[in-house]
Amino acid sequence: MTEYEISCLGKVRYHQRAYAKKASSRIRRNGGPNLRPYHCQYCLQWHLGHRPGHATYLRTRLNGPVPVQELTP
């Protein structure tokens, strides 16, 4: 999987940061995770993502998310 596919492909694109922040607030109010907007270097628009270290799933397959496994040192 390429970096582009991980950070951009399959995600909702927002034209402005304000729209992404409103969507994040709406998701959180409805019991969803605490997401934050970030500017995508590939499509130059805004996506929502987990805070670093707080992701619970990676989108790597068409049939659903794959749980993130913690790496042990």
Summarize pLDDT for 45-62 with one digit per residue, the tens: 999 988 776 666 555 555
Condensed to tens digits (0 to 9), the pLDDT of residues 9-49 reads: 878 999 999 999 999 999 889 988 888 999 998 889 999 98
pLDDT of residue 59: 54
CA quadruple 43, 46, 48, 52: dihedral sign: positive
Which runs of E-coded beta strand occur in 1-73?
35-39, 46-50, 57-61, 64-67
State the Cα–Cα distance between residues 25 and 47, nearest whole angstrom: 13
Structural domain spans, the chain = 3-65
- Confidence band (pLDDT; 50, 70, 90) for 70? very low
